[in-house]
Amino acid sequence: MVKLLTALEKTITVGKSGESPALKLLLFSALLAFSACIRPPEQPSPSVLREAELNLVSTIARGKRYSLSGRADLAEKEFRIALLARPNMHSLHNDLGYVLFAQNRLSEAKRSVLRALRLEPRNIAARESLAHILYAMGDISGAINQYKLSLFTLETEDPIALQQVLGSRSGPEDYVRIHRNLATAYYAKGDLGEARCQSAYARSLVASQAQTGQHARLLLSLEESAQAVAELRQVIVASGGAVSPKLMLDYGIALYAENEYPLALAALSRVLSSVGAEARDRRSARLFKLSILMTEGSPAERSVVKESLFEEDENLCEIVLVDEEYWPLKLILLIEELQTKMCSDEFESLFKADDE
């Protein structure tokens, strides 16, 4: 550039005959201006920029780990720190709303996810979060509307553009999840026909044991236990008995509701012998087994099951044993009555043999 300027300056000084000095001066000025335009702008230190970005990523990652481990209070702190650096990051506002919801701070959670949706209306994760919050606040119709808007976004938005918003590609599992949530919401609203329809549709989208079990639980809630038994049995036979402990638990509960006690006991025993059974499912299996033994078994048999329950959780009398999203009301009341009997001296004789 220096050589070019020098050459041009000489041209202006000793220019050819007939060339206008004014034109040469104009060219020289333009070249000076051009040289200023192509000068690279000053950039922040790459190391500083990289460190700030890394700190942000680490903060968000810590928040997500805390959230997954159930430490919503610690996750909240990390997400709020991250939002100071990225106040317009819509996914962060949804993350914050999620952990506020986990702490039952519903109004704050609602404000946070609404901010996420104002920043990015296509964020179906935030829209589903809003639906969950509205459901918890008792606004079932509002929750249903938000679930439907989530479906509309999935069906109408360009998949690539939606992937950029969500950070991952949408798929059948997203439709299954939303239709399953709609089934729950319609059931809570009292629209049982629509609840059954949404549940059946969710099951049809993905052939899985989990979806069969969830549909069966809704059928139990609708007092269609015979249909629940039939659908669960069909899956068990088709898979040669190789089913998850949770599906076998659902089968045992459905058999119990149909008063098929010997088969129910066999299914529940299968759950208890499964190495992969979750603690909650093992407890549920024992509770229903004990309920059967209250009418079909001896005090000694009841005592064995009762002791097993207290060995797994010595605070059995102080905790809520039932998940209202998991069991129908009739079975919830039954388990609550059973808990009362296990924890009251008044019913102690039910769990003692005559010679004790």
- Range with lowest mean pLDDT among 70-84, 233-247, 302-316, 337-351: 337-351
Dist. CA 99–CA 72, nearest whole Å: 5
Predicted confidence (pLDDT) per residue in 170-190, tens digit: 889 999 999 999 999 999 899
Which of the listed ranges 37-41, 45-49, 298-302 does the model predict with the highest average pLDDT?
Answer: 298-302
Residue 146 has pLDDT above 60, yes or no: yes
Dist. CA 220–CA 330, nearest whole Å: 9
Q: Which of 241, 245, 216, 240 is nearest to 230 (CA)?
A: 216
Residue bearing tokens 């008792």: 138
Predicted confidence (pLDDT) per residue in 326-347, tens digit: 566 667 777 888 888 888 877 7
pLDDT at 27: 43
The answer to whether domain 58-147 has CATH 1.25.40.10 is: yes
Residue 350 has pLDDT above 90, yes or no: no
Contact 215, 202 (CB under 8 A): yes
In the chain, what are the domain boundaries? Answer: 58-147, 237-356
| Structure tokens given for 15 | 């220019």
Q: Which of 201, 147, 144, 212 is nearest to 172 (CA)?
A: 201
Give the three-state DSSP class for 341: helix
